[in-house]
Structure 1
């Protein structure tokens, strides 16, 4: 008797079955999500950029060669110094020294390159003691002059009106600007899923009231609302408290769009068979929401939140640029732009606007492309090939 238990169906040979198709056929929701995301090359590249930016923000104290508020009157408005790799026929990272002269006609300092006095640069150079993450004692920086001194300048992105290193300030500013997006999105996630879930799951009068509140909030012009609330922050408040309030302000409107999307998902899923089975099994309403409904479209929530982070970053930047958001000595990309909005800086030191502006554009575009890739991967109606 011939054993037919292991024969392929319909007379097909096992070699005719695509291994990739077999892998997709048995893959779970998150596996399918990841396979579809990997096909979006621009989104994968953006993910690498985003991870790099957040790594820089996390290790800002170690990466920045100088204290962001350290001044040097000798190098006010010093131009960016190009990094050289070879010196005297050998590998020796360095920047050319800067020679300052006073223009008696314009009464301005003018800098010129001084290749005769190069400033050698090294990795893991000794520096003043500091605390990494506020707790780990450190006395090394990732990069810096090998022989620090008052004349040993290393301004890769130039210096500002007080001689502060723009590279160090942009690196430290990434910590505030990028983290405010994460914190703001976390607040929006809690409010959006909670309020939108209640609205879509229970419906009726509860749904009507919540939707009218959301429509009222969305009808208010965003920028004037942020400006009004930010202007009410007392100047005497400490920086940490100001940072927290600004985060709450930029999250005030962000949760409404997520709440409406969650509501729509709940309306389409609340009468599905798995919800009815859970209810007949005695599970509470809160358990059904948290254990069944929300996980069923968590990938879509992640994509939506990723697209919301750039909005939070731009909101903080706009408020700080207008002078009603974060204030010095807090260093963020928005405050760096605000400090550069004067005629002298634009005419004499355009890098003060260009460098933080480039960082903002890079972060926002990367997060937008990443969000597009996550959104496409979370689309259940797109065919997996």
Structure 2
């Protein structure tokens, strides 16, 4: 049943108690709300025991009914077709999708800075090979490439193996744009006096890249990385939604939205589309933050 927010004109969230009766035709026990039994819904109530962060035993709940059991839990966003709490699953899915996005961007950042830096600093045959690889990857449509690599994963892999494989696939494709930006900056900076001074001082190439060149345009890298996070999250969500990414019992935004593909299930339980809301909010938030960082890092933007 839904939460009733007002009682006699006053804000008083509550639910009705249930009265059970036996159906004389089907012999099934049917429960109906009893308006005379009003059970208040409060913050920080005592209920069934659980382990906070998996280690700390607690019985304090953020919101719920005093003295509730697991069967009497408050489902703020309803349940899925198997009776599982959608709010709890959404929280776990948010953690999974954000971790994949952040880890994927971190790996792409390392690959982009390293390969782009090597390409721009050394030049020659190495630069040609890296640029041809980038052109090949960028010439293939991104989603079909993701789908092809994800579909090649063995079906007998565990959830953990698929989790890391999807993260690696996304990051191996997302480094190309940053690598080109880094290469262009290195080509313009490698003849600067501070680079030549570092070379004359005996610094190796990796030290020059990460100690002298990268910090000179770190703000641009941060802005580009922030703008890449939404693409990583969308890619994982799309693959899981299509059934080529994470698979149950793993859970992510894409896995939750898989259930919304069924029109019949969606007509009965429209709240299955709720995971699309945090996806939209997070994507817009990272895009706005990335745009702000990019404008702040651009000295000619004003």
Please give the range of the TM-score, normalised by the shorter of the 2 chains: 0.7 to 0.9
- Partners of 2:16 and 2:122 in 1: CA distance: 68
Distance 1:118 1:331, change over 3 A: farther
Cα RMSD over matched residues?
Answer: 2.7
Q: Is contact 1:321-1:335 (8 Å) kept?
A: yes
**Partner residue in 2 for 1:219:** 139
The more displaced of 374-383 and 359-368 is: 374-383
Secondary structure of the residue aligned to 2:76 is coil
**Partner residue in 2 for 1:305:** 225
- Partners of 1:210 and 1:314 in 2: CA distance: 26
- Partners of 1:368 and 1:83 in 2: CA distance: 37
Distance 1:210 1:360, change over 3 A: same
- Partners of 1:352 and 1:273 in 2: CA distance: 59
**Partner residue in 1 for 2:46:** 125
**Partner residue in 1 for 2:289:** 370
Distance 1:234 1:138, change over 3 A: farther
**Partner residue in 1 for 2:269:** 349
Gaps of 5+ in 2: 22-29
- Partners of 1:238 and 1:146 in 2: CA distance: 39
Q: Is contact 1:97-1:153 (8 Å) kept?
A: no
TM-score, normalised by the number of residues in structure 1: 0.70
Distance 1:235 1:139, change over 3 A: farther
Gaps of 5+ in 1: 1-77, 102-109
Secondary structure of the residue aligned to 1:323 is coil
Secondary structure of the residue aligned to 2:14 is strand
TM-score, normalised by the number of residues in structure 2: 0.87
Deviations 1:203-258 (A, max 9, x none): 11111110001111111221111112212222322211111111011112101111
- Partners of 1:309 and 1:284 in 2: CA distance: 32
Secondary structure of the residue aligned to 1:291 is helix
**Partner residue in 1 for 2:25:** none
- Partners of 1:260 and 1:114 in 2: CA distance: 66
How do 1:106-255 residues align onto structure 2 when only pairs under 5 Å count? 115-119=35-39, 120-123=41-44, 125-132=46-53, 134-149=54-69, 152-255=72-175
Distance 1:154 1:116, change over 3 A: farther
**Partner residue in 2 for 1:3:** none
Distance 1:100 1:221, change over 3 A: farther
- Partners of 2:198 and 2:65 in 1: CA distance: 65
- Partners of 1:111 and 1:333 in 2: CA distance: 33
Instruction: Give yes or no for the alignment of 1:359 onto 2:278.
Output: yes
- Partners of 2:67 and 2:168 in 1: CA distance: 44
- Partners of 1:149 and 1:191 in 2: CA distance: 50
Instruction: Give yes or no for the alignment of 1:286 onto 2:206.
Output: yes
- Partners of 1:160 and 1:181 in 2: CA distance: 25
1:274 Cα deviation after fit: 1.5
1:282 Cα deviation after fit: 2.6
Secondary structure of the residue aligned to 2:161 is helix
